[in-house]
Amino acid sequence: MRTLKNHTILFDAECPMCNVYTKAFVRSGMLDSKEGRKAYQQAGENCKNVDMQRAVNEIALINGNTGEVTYGVKSLFKVLANSFPLLEPVFRFRPFSWLMEKLYAFISYNRRVIIPGNTQIAASEWQPSFRLHYRLIFLLFTGLMSAAILSHYTPLLYPLLPRGSSYREYLVCFGQIAVQGIIATIFFPKKVWNYLGNMMTISFVGALLLLPVIIASEWIFLMPQFALIYFMFIVSLMLLEHVRRTRILGINWALTISWIIYRIVILLIIFKSAGYALF
């Protein structure tokens, strides 16, 4: 594998995802093991020609020979094309590069809520810019995907859980965004969008963890009791992750308590509307 020599990629040390993939570039030999990657928080004089705010939003690749700087998906394309020359025509194909730029921006502007760091306190004065439309798209995407998966899982719980309309899980999911958003606005107005992004990441990952059971149910009969136990196990993991992330955000137990209460109230409403005797 060809190494892109005399190039340094600047990554976000507070972003676990950025740390992992840039380290993979170095370990695989795509970038030099000594100067191939540096955190922009400690880059120092390497940043003379770098637009720092842009580098925070779009990962920067510095050419050590010429001082030229590329940003975002173009930096990744440059590293990959050097190691895999056959991919270069694909990277130059404008519709593909445009699509990848949008996908990269979608991930980059939401990276702190997809995989948060271990601390809420920033280690650098340079922080990612906030783009509301990318956060709204993220909430819409994770909400739709989570609800779609749950719509396929809840039938496995019947008759322990009443059957519902095809849109029930969508109402539940987006209802939670609305309720938690209102509560977060009241108590933590400066952290609303970060909290909602983290909350929907938890919901989306939880939904993905239900997929193995959904797939297995297509081949074998699964007792509703098993589906319920597995579902409660996933919800427990989601609760623990919710607690962890709210601590990182510096949020007290208010939103965790409202998260639990919302789910209990919705469950009671579902049973009541189906005519189940609650007590």
pLDDT in tens, 41-82: 776 665 778 888 898 899 999 998 888 999 999 999 999 999
Distances, alpha carbon 265 to alpha carbons 185, 270, 271, 272, in Å? 21, 9, 10, 10
Query: Percent of the chain scored above 90 by pLDDT?
Result: 67
Under the banding of pLDDT at 50, 70 and 90, the label for residue 228 is very high
Over range 129-150, report the average pLDDT.
97
Give 172-211 pLDDT, tens digit per residue.
999 999 999 999 999 999 999 999 999 999 999 999 999 9
The amino acid at residue 265 is V
Using DSSP, state whether 185 is helix, strand or coil: helix
User: In this structure, are residues 38 and 10 in contact, taking their beta carbons and an 8 Å threshold?
Assistant: yes
Which tokens hold the place of 168?
Answer: 């029930």
Evaluate if residue 274 carries a pLDDT over 90. no
Q: What is the pLDDT of residue 273?
A: 77
Output DSSP code: residue 129.
P
Q: What is the pLDDT of residue 165?
A: 86
pTM of the model: 0.92
Output DSSP code: residue 130.
P
What number of other Cβ atoms are within 10 A of residue 194's Cβ?
A: 21
The amino acid at residue 69 is V
Angle at 274 between CA 268 and CA 275, to 5 degrees: 90
